[in-house]
Structure formats: C-alpha cells, structure tokens
Amino acid sequence: MNADRYARVRDLFFAADELSGAARQDFLETEIGDDQELMAEVLSLLDEHDADFAQREGAKALPVPAPLELGQAAEAGGDLVAGDPVAGDAVAEPRRAAETANGMSASEKTHPAKSDSSRAKSPQNKASDTQRAEKKVSASEITQRGSERTHASPKDFESRGSKDRTSPSELLLASKSRRARRINSGWLWLAAVLPTLIVGYMTYHSVSNSVQLALHNELTGVSNSVELATGRFLDDKAQLVQSWARQSLIRESILRLVELSDRKSKLDVLESAPLSAQILSELRVLSGKPDVKFVVWNQSFTTIASWREDHSDLGHPVIPSGTSDVARVLRGETVVYGPDRGDGPASLTEDEVGAVDESLEPMMACIVPIRDADSEVVAALLVNSIGLFDEFNELFHESSVTSGLDIYAINRDGVMISLSPHAANLFHRSQFDMDPDSIVAALRVSDPGAVITSSTRDQIVRRSLPLTESASAATLGESLVRLEPYSNYAGELVVGGWRWIPRWRFAVVVEKDVRDAFAAARIVWYSFLLLGSLLTVTALVSAGRLARSSARDHAAVHPLSRYEIVSELGSGGMGVVYKVKHMQLGRNAALKLLRSDRQNREDQLRFDREARLAASLTNPHSVTIYDYGRSEDGEAYCVMEYLSGLTLQEVVARSGFQSIGRVLFVLRQVCEALGEAHSLDLVHRDIKPQNIMLSLDPSIGDWAVVFDYGLAKPLSPENGTYQTREVIWAGTPMYMAPERFRSPSVMDPRSDIYSVGCVAYYLLAGRPPFAECDPESLFALIISEQPIGLGIHRGEDVPESVRNCVFKCMAKNAADRYASVGELAEAIDALRVEFPWTSRDAADWWKQHGEV
C-alpha cells in the first residue's frame, strides 16, 4: 500500500467511523464507487475496530515525539543513522510522521497494540521511500540505507516447504478459538456427515457386491456359452470331414496310395497322380468348394498325395512344427489345425510357416485319420479351404457383438486365433498398432503396459513382453474368472473370464472394460462422496460462523493476529517457520513458532534465549528480529526478517567455485556480522554456507546476511540468562573447529573464525574441505588432516596470499588462527585491493544465475 492509498484509507476510515448502519454503507458506496479492493480494506478496518478498547489503549500509549523534517535534520548537521527510528520515519514515512505528531494513525487507532511493530521499518518500504526522498538524501546515505534492506530467504527451508496455504486461524489465533472451531465442526460433522458416509459406505458395499456377483455370472455364462458353441461347431466340422474320409472313392484312393508308398523303390509319381486327382475332384463335389485343398501323409509322416498339380511335395516329410498334430491323427484322433498363416504342415519347408506372412488369409484345417479294413490307422488326411476359419471367426464376432464384450480365442502359445472386434475398433480409432487383417495368428496377447507405441508393431517386441493375466492362465490350462483389474493386449484395464478347451487345444477369453464393469458401483460411491463433501463444507462453514465471534474478539488482542500465513518454510528441532505477511503494512516476514510438542519450560527458555541473543544484534548483515513474545495461552513466537535470495550453498550449486574477489567481498560482510556478535560476547557456533544468505543490492552488489542464531551462546553469561550445559557437540560437523569436538562446552570466538575459513574454502573450491560418510572418519580428518589444495579443485593456481589467509583461519590450533574477527577483516581488506569485486560484476552474475 503506497502513501496516497494509505491516506485515502485513513480518511475514509475516520469519516465512516462516525457513522453507523445504512448511513455508513451509503457513504462508503458514494465515496469509493467501484473500487472493491479499497472497499474491502476499509470494511476490514471498521469490522476489527473497537472504539472503546482503542481509547483505553491509546491513553496508555507513550507519546511519540514528532520527528524532524528531513531538511531540518540535514541543517542541524545530524546524520541519518541506519536503524535509527526517528531518521527512518523521517525518510521512509513522512506522511505517517505528520500523523504521529497529531495523534495515532488509522491503523494504530484500529489496532493500538500494533503501533510499535507498525513503526518497524519494512525493507521494501525503505526502498520506495528512499526513491521519493532522493532529492534530499546524499548518495552515501542511500548506500547506508540500502544496507538495511532484506535480501535473502532461507531457501533450505523452501526445499521442504509446504505448497499449501495454511489458514491463519489455525496457527495464529489463540488455542481457545481454535478449540471452539474444532469442537463445533466436530459435532456438526458427527451429526451430519458421519451418518451419511456410513450409510454411503454400506450402500456402496452392497451395490459393489451385487455388481461383482452379476459380473461374475455374466463372464461365466458368456464363457460357457461360447465354449459350448465353438465345441459344437468344431465337432460338426470334424464329423463332416470324417464322413468325407469314409467315402469309398476317397478312402480306396488313399489306401492305394499307402500301398504304393510302401514299395521299396521310389514312389511312383505317375501312378499316384491320377489317385490324387480323384481325391481332389471328389472333395470338390462333397464340399462344394472349388478351391478345396488336401494333403495325405502315411505312417512314415511322408506326403503321399496333395492338391498341388506339380506334385512337388510328394515324398517330403511333415515339417517339424506339424509333426505333433499329424502324430495325434495317426494315433486315431481328429485334429483341428490353426488358424495359421501359410500352408501349415503341408508346407514344403519350415520357413514357409516359420515366418508369418500377413498378406495371407489365416488357414484353418481339419485333419482326420484314414483306417484300413482292419480299422487300423494307415494315413492322415488334411482338408483345407472349406471356409472353416471364416465360420469359426464369425461365431466369435456374433457373440462379441451380442454381449457387448470382447471375446476372442487364443492358442497354446498365447496367440490370438480369432479376430477381436474390440481390437479392430481400437485400430480404426488410432489406439491400436495392428491392422485387423494381420491380427489373427500374428498378435501375441501380451501386456504392453499403459501405452502402445509404434515400436510394438515389431512382433519381436511383443514376444519379449509377458502375456496378459488371462492369456497366461489360459495357456496353462486354467479356467477362471478374474474380477481384479488387469491389463489386456491394448494396455486397458479389464476384468475377464477364460475357458481352456482341452479337446481342441485353444482357450476362449471374455473381457470387459473396468469402467463399464463397475459403472453402477462407481456412480453410487461418487454420489455419496459428493454428498459427504457438501455436508462437510456445510459443517465447516457453520462451525466457522459459530466460532467467528469469539475468534474475532480473541484475534483483536492476539499479538500475531496482524499477520497472514503465506506458506510453511520449514521446521526444525525446536520450531516451525512460516512465511507471513503483515496485513496492514504488506511486509513479508518470517514467523517462528515453538513446536507444540516442545512446550515444556526448558524448551521455552531455550526459545527465549535464542530470540533475545539474536535481537541484541543490530548489524545489517545479521538477521533482524522484529517481534518476540508469548500469547496469553503461552504460545511462544518470534517474528524476524524474511530473507529472499540464495544461500551460499545454492550459489555454489548454481555456478561452481567462485571468483576470489567475490569470496573476499562476501566474507568481509560476514566478518562485520560476527564482529558485532563477538563484541557482545556472543559466539554463533554454526557458521556454514547454508546459514549465509546472498542477494543483489542495486547500489552495493552482493549483500550477505548471517542468520540462524539457534546455537549461539554468550561467552560471559549473565545470571538472568538461561544456560545449558553441553556434554556433546552441536552444529554442522564439516564446518566445526577441532576444539569443538574435544570440548563442546568451551566457548571461543576463534571457533567461528575456523568456520569462516571453511566457508571460504567451500566458495573457492566448490566443495567442503572435508567430506566423509562415516562420522568417526570425518572427525579424524578434521582433527588431524589438512584439506586438499584449493588449486586442485579449481584446476588453476590460487595465489599464495589467499591460500595463507584461508588456511590460517582453518588452523588446527586456535592460537595459530587470527586472534579476532577484526584481524581477519583487516587481512581480507588487504587482499581485496588485489582482487576487486564490483557491483557490476555481481549484477552480471545475478543476471545469469540468480533467478530465485
């Protein structure tokens, strides 16, 4: 909110506060017009304003002296000091300064308890206000004030941050209002939603059982009927061909051929040719098919007659893949061969049936035994091209169309031997990869997964995939119904039933899409879910309204009610950190709440110590504490500067090792933060790349902020400060000084200097000085070994002066390090002359790598 809009809201608030009821509403509508956002801001202030309470609190408030005008301050010779509240108000908020001289501002009148925090300087407000006052402020003053801005955000929190926006009422309002809301919503939910869900579940369970029973009966019935129909069809065809084989002319011709084939000499082709012609002519008459084909084999599996006019196959044995079928016939069985592509067992070579020719029509034949006068089987007769496959395939097609199910047959190898109408429809919708004319006797019923790609056209790929559950079970001779969804040959979820027919050695598969199979149960379930959701929303809204009055009263005095939760940034051992927004100032901040499971007295005292120690720091390179305290219900909280930028760890992750000038520039700012802390007898104890934030300041360049003083401890504790006795080390091992491992309770500022050296090594090398998976090995390295040379990691020499500075910080013996942070800062200043880093250099890096 800018100054002009703030003044507008203030004037409307004061004017409307004197009115009530309809008069107030008419006044606001007339003055504001169509600006709904402005209307909402004014109404929000009026809703939360309690005139009597504001008057009582205003009387208690200490008078605030009117600040000097900027020009007067300059004339008086007074410098604007960073962090000075008077100077800050004079530069950043001239309009509010005038209001303060005359009385409380609108927001202070509305929320007197917020007056102190509302005067805290927002970094964003400082930036905009500095621009408005740039005619009166010198360049040095602008640079100085720029150092007060917020520049970095703890991105290590964001990596674990919640994406959900958390309701402020659940986290910031008092537990009293939260409890009221929970109780109200709980009872309403139990009374309205729970019975509905119970009834819905019982109904769904009943409907689901009924649907499953009906589905099981449907799949079983269709499977049985198709099995019965195909069995009768094949029996009829087998008996028909057997009757042809018993016809006198055909039988006597075959017996004569068997007699000729038994001669010791080579088969007399000239004498057998007329017999083959007689058999072919008679079969044409009996079948009514002019294209009928036949083959005759003797007991030696040798071809002794066929439909071929050139008789080129006579004397050839049955190919190996057809031997088992011919052997069964010679044992007295009747076999239905195929469907297959090519001429099957009648082929001259194995290659003719080994390679699938998709241009050929599927071949389906009946092979019957030929018996002599003693009823001994002496030959096998194959009859083909009598329309057997067409009638077989049409039987499955009619069953599928009639039932609305996907019905097809597969052989022992899991290959589809009847055309699935569903597969044909998928192909025409470009959802399947095989042309319907090439599916039969070529498509292996395998599970391609959720997606069919063009690569599955290659049958080698399909043969490498597992069979579907139905095909796998059917090829093992099982007959089952499966109501648990599984993937079919197109990758769709289906339920199915299958029947293995031992006599004809193929299986009937019946499948139904899951969406169609359980549509009725799903509709019932979704209906009750929708009803339960509506009732839940109703219960929550009602509970919110019941608790709103008490919640609003409590929120008016709750110290955190002025903040809105934006997102969760992360959590640690002690607290949870949220990104919040000040509802009146519009300023972002970081809110740390003590975890609910750490509300014991000892943890509360620890939380107090961390906030007090951090709040004692005023250096612009240390994180700023805005507010701290406890609610009336004992909720401990700490509001601090929200950092937006990159951690040094992320800087290295994005661009590798850093230039020497930049490292020195950043470390010099870290020394300023630690110098103030050490001057206050405060040791940070957890300096590491993750706890140093970097951002781009337009006038200065890289801007570093040190944060997370959770492990900080005073060197000379006061009697009134809560202390802990440590018998184990605390911090991040790879950046801890060796003496911290030996004596965890000993406080020495030079331990922070060691950590600064480790951070410098990390920035210059692009990796930490020591890294081991085993803690004991890591401790041993830190205590006794020196890190690898910086030049090895960088692939280039590092000047000796820089190396000496880094390794002096990292000396194993504290006495060999720099005596103080001030001495380290002087050494860095001397090096910066040789290795400069400008704001332009920083701007170039952030332009390339620094998108947050």
Number of DSSP helices (H) and strands (E) in the chain, helices first: 35, 19
How far is residue 109 from each of residues 1, 114, 172, measured CA to CA in Å?
18, 9, 22
Residue 489 is encoded by which pair of tokens?
Answer: 């040959």
Contact 581, 589 (CB under 8 A): yes
Cα torsion 131, 137, 140, 144 to 10°: value is -60
Residue 592 labeled ligand binder: yes
Residue 678 CA, chain-centre distance (Å), reads: 45
Strand, coil or helix: 776: helix
Residue 619 CA, chain-centre distance (Å), reads: 41
∠ CA 156-162-163 to the nearest 5 degrees? 115
∠ CA 802-806-812 to the nearest 5 degrees? 145
Q: Annotate 51-67 with three-state secondary structure.
A: HHHHHHHHHHCCCCCCC
Q: Tokens 């040789």 sit at which residue?
A: 834
User: What is the secondary structure of 327-381 as a DSSP string?
Assistant: HHHHTT--EEEEEEES-GGG-SSTHHHHS--TTSPEEEEEEEEEE-TTS-EEEEE
Strand, coil or helix: 42: helix
Residue 72: how many other CB atoms lie within 10 Å: 11
Nearest to 447 by CA among 477, 486, 482: 486
Name the helix (H) or strand (E) containing 383.
strand 377-384
How far is residue 832 from each of residues 655, 662, 664, 826, 838, measured CA to CA in Å?
21, 9, 6, 10, 11
Query: Going by C-beta distance under 8 Å and a sequence separation of 6 or more, which residues neighbour residue 2?
Result: 128
Tell whether the torsion through CA atoms of 768, 772, 774 and 776 is positive or negative. negative
Whole-number Å distance between alpha carbons of 648 and 694 = 7
Q: Tokens 């002019």 sit at which residue?
A: 290
768 preceded by cis ω (within 30°)?
Answer: no
In the annotated binding site for ATP, the residues are 592
In the annotated binding site, the residues are 592
